[in-house]
Structure 1
Amino acid sequence: MLIRFNKPYGVLSQFTPEGRWRGLKDFIDLPGVYVAGRLDADSEGLLLLTDDGQMQARIADPRFKMEKTYLVQVEGVVDDKALAELSRGVTLNDGPTLPARARAMAPPASLWPRDPPIRERQSIPTSWLELVIREGRNRQVRRMTAAVGLPTLRLIRTAVGPYNLDDLSTGSWKVITA
């Protein structure tokens, strides 16, 4: 069994809540399923869960380099220089990243509101980009955008390999049928 879950902001990639963060048990009440890959509590979007250990390894293990697609709202204006740097790969404190696919984009039209809303400063514009990576380092997308001078304000994973959010509303889940 494979489950697509649209993880809201403030929810951990584990069933047990911790501190101010909620757990998956608030949304998914199925015994025997486990998270395949993680998504930080302050990130939103596609989280996959499965009851199949081999499938979990194929999805989560960095050796398989499964592509992950993110929509990223950043502070500042996405320009060609930043996109070129992201596309080549940037050097982080734990070494260089693999090249990414990066493109500027218009704000997504059918996006759910975030609760709580992001902080916005009147003197600094925000913009959006799509970033596709094949790694899964800790807070990698946030660190990559910061490295090119564009701090992340909102991060939404829309796809992992062939699996995507489609029309899944925030906080809801669906079993993927083969």
Structure 2
Amino acid sequence: MKKIIVSICVIGLLQSCIVSTATKVVTGVAKLGYKTVKGTVKGVSWAVSKAKGKIDEDRIDGTWKIVGVYKGDFEAFTNDPNPESSFESECVEGFDQIIFNSKKSKYKPVHCNTEKVSWEKYDFEFGKNPLTKEKENYLKINSSNYISIIDINNKTMILEGALIPKQAFSGGKLYLLEKIK
């Protein structure tokens, strides 16, 4: 009888340890999830941590749809308790997009899928960005425009800088793009 009572007590103790450990793991994962993703726009998440190290240039290749613009820089975004997208597209049909051809180091912004815009040359670099003075991945467009690549994956890309002049004049500096091709 003593063995059965001791066995039940041991099982109860182990079960409570497992439950408390599982609770700690879930809480830790929830905190980690909050630190790596902050808000969504149309189901696309804004990342809040900069890419560590050099990004492969081929990752920017393709057609990217602009789905969000944050009025402020990356530092203001990370400190904002409730960041929201302030992007309002003027497109009745279609959407604003940017097409990157990494093999030729060229890109072109296309307004509402219709405007014919010529290709512009860029330099993809990893090092000390002359504007931010930080070591990061960035695009050098012309000789004076620097666009920081905050984060990129196979679905989204976040860029910081004067990417779209019309948005930059109204304070937009952080751009969320979704890959469509």
TM-score bin, normalised by smaller chain: under 0.3
Which TM-score applies when normalising by structure 1?
Answer: 0.27
The higher radius of gyration belongs to: 2
> Higher helix proportion, which one?
2
Q: Which has the higher contact order (CA 8 A, sep 6+)?
A: 1
> Higher strand proportion, which one?
2
